[in-house]
Amino acid sequence: MSELILGLVACLTSLLAAVVGLGGGMLLIAVMPAFFPAQVIIPLHAAIQWVSNGSRVLFAVPDVQPRLLPPFVIGSVLGIGVGWLFVQQLSADGIPFLIGLYILAMQWWPGFIRTLQRVNNLYVAGFVQTGLGLVVGATGPLTLALLQHRLIQRDAVIANNALLMWLTHGIKLGLFVVIGFDFLHWWIPLLAMALGAIVGSWAGTRLRQHVPQRVFKRVLSGLLTAMALYLVTTHFYKLVVS
């Protein structure tokens, strides 16, 4: 039953990301602590988001611009080392707690958002996004803010943000494989979520032109805030009593 629920969640969050351009990854990682141990959330999230973003790229190939990749790759490779050094210092309850704080900051702290939006260089964006992604998992808004200033069409912004996020999660996946994370142990929920993510990307790509973004953004903001508050309050208590 849990696999069915996870597959549906992955489908809906992937659909949301395909329509709006962001939010799916954050919503998914906010749900995952209810189904998985804290220490496996980031690796499993990286795997599903790699599939989700990759499928979104495949469904929008005409809008993809590969020229964006080289500087982003260089920054990402450097950022993964720094992020790994930091994440090893976190406790199991520290990761969901930081995920909650990050989501709340992205929703309600304009100063935090403005600071991230100053990352207007693909080298720096790759460094920050990939390094930060090891800690909080979902960092799509970083490159989305950058691409909105470089590209005009909404389809191009969403497709190329998916391309950069696919690369980010791919690098993270490579790191987790190298350090020996056992993805096969979780193959059943991973398969259910991967299939759901692909279906969601397909449906969202087709719905995008027919759905007002403001409707989804309001719903998304409310859901993310509620889930982030749950993560922060629950895991803050665990951190304090441990």
The confidence band for 58, taking pLDDT boundaries of 50, 70 and 90, is: very high
pLDDT of 95 strictly over 80: no
Give the predicted TM-score (pTM) of the model.
0.75
Note whether 60 and 151 are within 8 A (CB): no
CA dist 73 and 163 (Å) reads 11
CA dist 193 and 44 (Å) reads 10
Note whether 148 and 157 are within 8 A (CB): yes
In the structure encoding, which two tokens stand for residue 213, read together? 């973004």
Note whether 104 and 225 are within 8 A (CB): yes
Q: How many CB atoms lie within 10 A of CB 209?
A: 9
Note whether 88 and 39 are within 8 A (CB): no
Higher-confidence residue of 229 and 113: namely: 229
The confidence band for 44, taking pLDDT boundaries of 50, 70 and 90, is: very high
At 6-15, the pLDDT tens digits run 999 999 999 9
The set of residues, in sequence order, having a beta carbon less than 8 Å from that of 29 and lying 6+ positions away, is 41, 45, 99, 136, 137, 138
pLDDT of 47 strictly over 90: yes
Helix (H) and strand (E) counts in the chain = 11, 0
Write down the residue that tokens 């989804």 correspond to. Answer: 216
Q: What percent of the chain has pLDDT over 90?
A: 26
At 155-201, the pLDDT tens digits run 888 888 899 889 888 988 888 899 899 999 999 999 999 999 999 99
125-149 mean pLDDT:
68
Q: By residue range, what is the domain housing residue 207?
A: 2-241
Task: Please give the tally of structural domains in the chain.
Answer: 1
Phi and psi dihedrals of 123, rounded to 5? Answer: -65, -50
